[in-house]
């Protein structure tokens, strides 16, 4: 098989999902005729593949899961929404009069967020952006984006980049997923193989695919609350609170101690 | 990346789609908690990938596309439903008192069809089954299954197998899709590359993927009505009628001339 081209698969998907959502612009059609839902395809390095409708990236507040609402209520001051996607959360914060910046590494995601009215956006990694002189009071990692910690190796650098952007008393509000409740042998053995290679069990090696394009392979971390606490040790962040009402999903608040 | 294991990806998908449909049995859940729709992932040899909800395999007659209803009205006598899938069409024919056999190469598909009440099923290729002494009056190829002709090389053998199973005056009722109306450069260039290799433009080299399993690579043919007529030349079948009300989809009736 020809390998897919590497590119902004996430952005292409978000663009199409937005076109389907609004009914405007080029949309995926079956037979040039029947609308088809936009599907996000996630491939794991062990050959596992999963498709999921992309519409949730454009969910309105009344369609959000309840933990998203609880997470948003934990925002204080100036907010950086990291992995802003189609702007689902950031646009609602802006609507509520909160100063919010949307950051993403996907040009397509930033384009859609702006088109939907998000005023302050940044196309960059957190590392790149951390050289900016701006400071934030809240860093939001919703939509499972605690996963952007990636791995035990990467987490300290990611957290240090946020520390450079942190105003005194800043917090991270992050939604994670504890992967260890599963009994699915596919996942249990993946966790075991990870540990045998010295990785955290829920460290997923993934790529997104959309039509002819794939992202490069990246790590995405599903970790338990205990693992999160270990990752924070030695950083400028400490765990302040955990909301576990919707297990295995949780919302963690981490406080800046620098 | 580890390549997925080869197996009955279609059957695994149909089993899960059936569990979601009925609410009974092991179902795919996000976080072990939120139901997730079953998605069929189709990969093309050039790296293109598409996901589509699998629920249509279990669509009730009031959810069918209109050409399916028109195709079913073209059935005469004893019916062989080729690529029966989850039994969507065959179960309705049986309900109407029509003698119908469901054939599939997927053990999972046959299992689900039987579980849903389809009485007469065969797990085999048409070539294997063509050695049976039974004869049919109608061969049904719905759900785009005219594609099972595969290629100009394979079509004569497929049609000869059906001829061996054909009662006098038998017909094939097949739903196809003309691929050449598209302006999508991804598809147009695929068609051109096919022709440059001596293949029919719409000869797709595909595999299905579901979770950790993939089918082997197979050919699936989207052809124009003109191409279909060429493929029938020299076989025991001749084109009797074409219903093109829902272009690019069409329903072709082919008559046994043997």
For B73-111, how does the pLDDT look when each residue is reduced to its tens digit (9 = 90+)? 999 999 999 999 999 999 999 999 999 999 999 999 999
Q: How many domains does chain A have?
A: 1
Task: Provide the sign of the torsion angle of the four alpha carbons B200, B202, B208, B214, taken in this order.
Answer: positive
Asked if B49 is an interface residue toward chain A (Cβ–Cβ < 8 A), one would say yes
Residue B77, class by beta-carbon neighbours within 10 Å (0-12 exposed, 13-18 middle, 19+ buried)?
middle
Evaluate whether residue A50 is within a structural domain: no
Which pLDDT score, from 0 to 100, does residue B34 have? 79
Which pLDDT score, from 0 to 100, does residue B88 have? 97
Instruction: For residue A248, give the nearest of B31, B212, B247 by CB distance.
Output: B31
Which of A1, A10, A5, A82 is CA-nearest to residue A42? Answer: A10
Q: How far is B247 from chain A (nearest CA, A)?
A: 8
**Is the Cβ–Cβ distance between A93 and A85 less than 8 Å?**
no
Asked if A182 is an interface residue toward chain B (Cβ–Cβ < 8 A), one would say yes
Evaluate whether residue A8 is within a structural domain: no
- Say how far apart CA A203 and CA A223 lie, in whole Å: 8
Which pLDDT score, from 0 to 100, does residue B29 have? 81
The count of other CB atoms within 10 Å of the CB of residue A144 is 17
**Is the Cβ–Cβ distance between A83 and A145 less than 8 Å?**
yes
Asked if B187 is an interface residue toward chain A (Cβ–Cβ < 8 A), one would say no
Instruction: Decide if A209 and B49 are in contact by the 8 Å CB cutoff.
Output: yes
Which of A4, A5, A13, A47 best probes binding to B when mutated, by most B CB atoms within 10 angstroms? Answer: A47
Res A33 pLDDT > 80: no
Res A1 pLDDT > 90: no
- Say how far apart CA A71 and CA A180 lie, in whole Å: 22
Res B202 pLDDT > 90: yes
Instruction: Decide if B2 and A186 are in contact by the 8 Å CB cutoff.
Output: no
Q: How confident is the model at residue B173 (pLDDT cuts 50, 70, 90)?
A: very high
**Range A210-223 average pLDDT:** 98
Instruction: For residue B48, give the nearest of A40, A45, A212 by CB distance.
Output: A212
**For A249, which residue in chain B has the nearest alpha carbon?**
B31
Asked if A41 is an interface residue toward chain B (Cβ–Cβ < 8 A), one would say yes
Instruction: Decide if A212 and B40 are in contact by the 8 Å CB cutoff.
Output: no
pLDDT single digits (tens) A132-153? 999 999 999 999 999 999 999 9
Instruction: For residue A41, give the nearest of B3, B31, B49 by CB distance.
Output: B49
Structure tokens at A44: 């794991």
Instruction: For residue B39, give the nearest of A51, A177, A247 by CB distance.
Output: A51
Q: How confident is the model at residue B229 (pLDDT cuts 50, 70, 90)?
A: very high
Q: How far is A21 from chain B (nearest CA, A)?
A: 17
Instruction: For residue A181, give the nearest of B32, B46, B50 by CB distance.
Output: B32
Structure tokens at A28: 């995926």
Instruction: Decide if A53 and B43 are in contact by the 8 Å CB cutoff.
Output: no
List all residues 6 or more positions away from A191 whose beta carbon is below 8 Å from its beta carbon: A179, A180, A201, A202
Q: Name every chain A residue with its beta carbon within 8 A of the beta carbon of B33.
A: 246-248
Which of B233, B255, B70, B74 is CA-nearest to residue B166? Answer: B255
Which of A184, A177, A161, A132 is CA-nearest to residue A237? Answer: A161
The region, left, alpha or beta by phi > 0 then psi within -120 to 50, assigned to residue A150 is left
Evaluate whether residue A21 is within a structural domain: no
**Range B211-233 average pLDDT:** 98
**Range A39-49 average pLDDT:** 97
Which pLDDT score, from 0 to 100, does residue B65 have? 95
Which pLDDT score, from 0 to 100, does residue A208 have? 98
Range of the domain at B177: 61-203+218-256
Phi, psi of B49 (to 5 degrees): -135, 145
Q: How confident is the model at residue B28 (pLDDT cuts 50, 70, 90)?
A: confident
Instruction: Decide if A2 and B186 are in contact by the 8 Å CB cutoff.
Output: no
DSSP B149-214: G-STTTHHHHHHHHHHTEEEEEEEEEEEE-GGG---HHHHHHHHHHHHTTS-TTEEEEEEEEBTEE
Instruction: Decide if A48 and B212 are in contact by the 8 Å CB cutoff.
Output: yes
**For A212, which residue in chain B has the nearest alpha carbon?**
B48
What 3-state class would DSSP assign to B44?
Answer: strand
Q: How confident is the model at residue B30 (pLDDT cuts 50, 70, 90)?
A: confident
Evaluate whether residue B51 is within a structural domain: no
**Is the Cβ–Cβ distance between A120 and A101 less than 8 Å?**
yes
Res B8 pLDDT > 80: yes
Provide the percentage of residues in chain A whose pLDDT is more than 70: 100
Instruction: For residue A49, give the nearest of B31, B209, B248 by CB distance.
Output: B209
Asked if A212 is an interface residue toward chain B (Cβ–Cβ < 8 A), one would say yes
**Is the Cβ–Cβ distance between B74 and B94 less than 8 Å?**
no
Eight-class DSSP state of A66: H
Task: Provide the sign of the torsion angle of the four alpha carbons A123, A124, A126, A130, taken in this order.
Answer: negative
Evaluate whether residue B49 is within a structural domain: no
Q: What ipTM does this complex have?
A: 0.92
Domain CATH code at residue B158: 3.40.50.150
Rg (CA), chain B: 18
Instruction: Decide if B50 and A2 are in contact by the 8 Å CB cutoff.
Output: no
Which pLDDT score, from 0 to 100, does residue B152 have? 98
* Average pLDDT of chain A to the nearest whole number: 96
Evaluate whether residue A5 is within a structural domain: no
Q: How far is B53 from chain A (nearest CA, A)?
A: 8
**Is the Cβ–Cβ distance between B160 and B257 less than 8 Å?**
no
Instruction: Decide if A212 and B50 are in contact by the 8 Å CB cutoff.
Output: no
Residue A185, class by beta-carbon neighbours within 10 Å (0-12 exposed, 13-18 middle, 19+ buried)?
exposed
**Range B7-21 average pLDDT:** 97
Q: No. of H helices and E strands in chain A?
A: 8, 15
Instruction: Decide if A47 and B5 are in contact by the 8 Å CB cutoff.
Output: yes
**Range B203-216 average pLDDT:** 98
Which of A174, A175, A222, A183 is CA-nearest to residue A200? Answer: A222
**Is the Cβ–Cβ distance between B76 and B137 less than 8 Å?**
yes
Q: Name every chain A residue with its beta carbon within 8 A of the beta carbon of B39.
A: 39, 50-53
**For A54, which residue in chain B has the nearest alpha carbon?**
B51
CA distances (Å), origin B137, targets A258, B143, B173, B176, B258: 80, 20, 10, 20, 13
Which of A46, A51, A250 best probes binding to B when mutated, by most B CB atoms within 10 angstroms? Answer: A51
Asked if A186 is an interface residue toward chain B (Cβ–Cβ < 8 A), one would say yes
Evaluate whether residue A31 is within a structural domain: no
Could you tell me where the beta strands, DSSP code E, fall in A108-211?
121-123, 136-141, 166-177, 203-210
Instruction: Decide if A212 and B4 are in contact by the 8 Å CB cutoff.
Output: no
pLDDT single digits (tens) A111-134? 999 999 999 999 999 999 999 999
| Least confident piece of the model among A56-60, A164-168, B32-36, B197-201 | B32-36
Provide the percentage of residues in chain B whose pLDDT is more than 70: 100
What angle do the packed helices A225-232 and A155-164 form, to 10 degrees?
60
Res A199 pLDDT > 80: yes
Which pLDDT score, from 0 to 100, does residue B31 have? 75
Res B244 pLDDT > 80: yes
Evaluate whether residue A20 is within a structural domain: no
Instruction: Decide if A209 and B5 are in contact by the 8 Å CB cutoff.
Output: no
pTM: 0.94
List all residues 6 or more positions away from B113 whose beta carbon is below 8 Å from its beta carbon: B84, B85, B86, B87, B90, B91, B102, B104, B121
Asked if B33 is an interface residue toward chain A (Cβ–Cβ < 8 A), one would say yes
């Amino acid at each position: 098989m020809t390998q897919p081209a590497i590119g902004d698969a996430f952005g292409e998907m978000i663009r199409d999902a937005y076109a389907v959502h609004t009914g405007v612009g080029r949309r995926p059609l079956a037979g040039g005729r029947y609308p088809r839902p936009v599907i996000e395809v996630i491939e794991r390095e062990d050959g596992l593949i999963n498709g999921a409708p992309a519409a949730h990236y454009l969910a309105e507040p009344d369609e959000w899961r309840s933990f998203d609402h609880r997470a948003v209520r934990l925002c204080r001051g100036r907010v950086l929404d990291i992995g802003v996607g189609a702007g689902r959360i950031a646009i609602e914060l802006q609507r509520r009069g909160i100063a919010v910046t949307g950051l993403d590494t996907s040009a397509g995601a930033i384009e859609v967020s702006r088109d939907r009215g998000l005023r302050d956006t940044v196309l960059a990694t957190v590392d790149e952006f951390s050289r900016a002189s701006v400071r934030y009071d809240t860093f939001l990692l919703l939509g499972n984006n605690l996963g952007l910690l990636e791995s035990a190796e990467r987490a300290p650098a990611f957290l240090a980049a946020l520390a450079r952007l942190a105003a005194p008393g800043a917090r991270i509000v992050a939604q994670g997923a504890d992967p260890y409740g599963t009994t699915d042998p596919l996942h249990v053995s993946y966790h075991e193989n990870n540990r045998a290679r010295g990785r955290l069990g829920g460290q997923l090696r993934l790529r997104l695919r959309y039509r002819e394009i794939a992202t490069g392979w990246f790590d995405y971390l599903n970790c338990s609350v205990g693992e999160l606490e270990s990752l924070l040790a030695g950083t400028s962040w400490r765990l302040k609170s955990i909301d576990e009402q919707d297990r295995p999903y949780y919302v963690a608040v981490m406080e800046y101690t620098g």
